Amino acid sequence: MTESSKYNRRSILKAGVGLAASAVPAAAMSDPAPVTPANPEGPFYPKHEQVDKDTDLTLIDGHTERAQGQVIRVTGQVLDDEGKPVEGALVDIWQANARGRYHHEDDPATAPEDPNFQGWGMVKTDAEGRYAFTTIKPGAYAVNESWSRPPHIHFKVSRRGFHEITTQMYFAGESLNESDKLLQSVAEDARGLLTVDFQETDGLPHGHFPIVLAKVV
């Protein structure tokens, strides 16, 4: 079964169209913070446990070699819809390797796996709602003959008392963003809120991706 057929079966083009929060510190936010847009989980969320799923996806515990590709740093802050930090939120990320292949048994891609790439990481936010990951920039990959996905990282964020959010983070300046069916399914004025501009900091490309959760009422 192709990735395209799995997308169709799951009806993943029915993405949410809410708005995300900007990277403004919580204390400075006076108006209610708009909730981060949903974007589909896709078919490659990890099925099985793995021993190492810490915040450094570039080095698997027990390995001596690091993952192939451009190392990047992704940070962010999880806020509630009043702009307050959410402590203890579980931030769960997964992604393709530098050649555009997931470490997942259902990925039909012919690109090689990277045995040194972790592919999946989890962390809980601190008292200020902050999280951070070290990973590699994922590669683009073809879904079918007419659609190639741009580099992206999947996020699932949950905390008791809040509605769970599943979304995707995109990289600014990627030409494939303009034709990606999943990014384009988000409301036009919200697409930029899922798109992160990476800037070099301390020798590594660094991107900040804030996430806003809606409280359960």
Which of 99, 154, 159, 191 is flagged as catalytic? 154
Which of 149, 159, 170, 191 is flagged as catalytic? 149
**Would you call 149 a catalytic residue per the annotation?**
yes
**Would you call 152 a catalytic residue per the annotation?**
yes
Which of 73, 103, 104, 152 is flagged as catalytic? 152
**Would you call 141 a catalytic residue per the annotation?**
yes
**Would you call 154 a catalytic residue per the annotation?**
yes
**Would you call 131 a catalytic residue per the annotation?**
no
Which of 7, 131, 141, 170 is flagged as catalytic? 141
The three state secondary structure string of the chain is CCHHHHHHHHCCCCCCCCCCCCCCCHHHCCCCCCCCCCCCCCCCCCCCCCCCCCCECCCCCCCCCCCCCCEEEEEEEEEECCCCECCCCEEEEECCCCCCCCCCCCCCCCCCCCCCCCCEEEEECCCCCEEEEEEECCCCEEEECCEEECCEEEEEEECCCECCEEEEEEECCCHHHHHCHHHHCCCHHHHHHHEECCEEECCEEEEECCEEECECC
Catalytic residues: 102, 141, 149, 152, 154
